[in-house]
A = this chain, B = another copy of it.
Amino acid sequence: MNDLHAPLHAEELDAEGIGGWPFGIRDRVRFSELDALNHVNNAVYFSWLEMARIAYLLDYGLTGMSHAAPDPQIVVRRQSADYLAPIHFGESYTVTMRATRLKPSSLVTDYGIYVGRELRAMAETVIVSLTQDGTARQAWRDDAVARMVERDGATLAGFD
């Protein structure tokens, strides 16, 4: 059986008409994600961003998601979402993601949430890389930085 949850890359996203993104995941709306207005609740979108982000962090080698060094502890410092049109039960969605601005131990990422080719929401997060004990910043790995620059076209700031 193939991996149902394998992330999507630029070529696959392009082929489905969602052009211009280097990374994405796909899933289907769950009944438990609806609220009493019968559409996906606004807070649920941030769990979807988290799913995409964790898949991205693993795929780009930013962390192995362990709770031990040398993996960093990654925390969200800021996030926002724009809701363009509601999402309903039974719909499948794609969360796309890219790194836009990159500092030695923090990162700004953009997201799109699509149903088919239709953009239903946009979002942005700022994440920070800490040591596992949470007391200090921990720099991103060089190879992961290189991937974010190459695949995503992320701009760098604050690097020597």
Main secondary structure of the interface of A (DSSP, over half): mixed
Q: Are the CB atoms of B76 and A42 closer together than 8 Å?
A: yes
- Given A35-B31, A36-B34: A78 in contact with B80 (beta carbons within 8 A): yes
Complex-state Cα separation, A34 to B50, whole angstroms: 13
Chain A interface residue number, banded = 35 or more
Any B CB within 8 A of the CB of A157: no
The interface of chain A, by Cβ under 8 A from chain B, is 1, 4-5, 16, 26-28, 30-32, 34-38, 41-44, 46-47, 50-51, 54, 65, 67, 73, 75-83, 86, 89-90, 92
What would 19 A/B residue contacts be, using CB atoms closer than 8 Å?
A4-B4, A4-B26, A4-B92, A5-B92, A31-B50, A31-B51, A32-B43, A32-B51, A34-B36, A36-B38, A37-B73, A37-B75, A42-B76, A42-B79, A65-B90, A75-B86, A78-B81, A78-B83, A79-B81
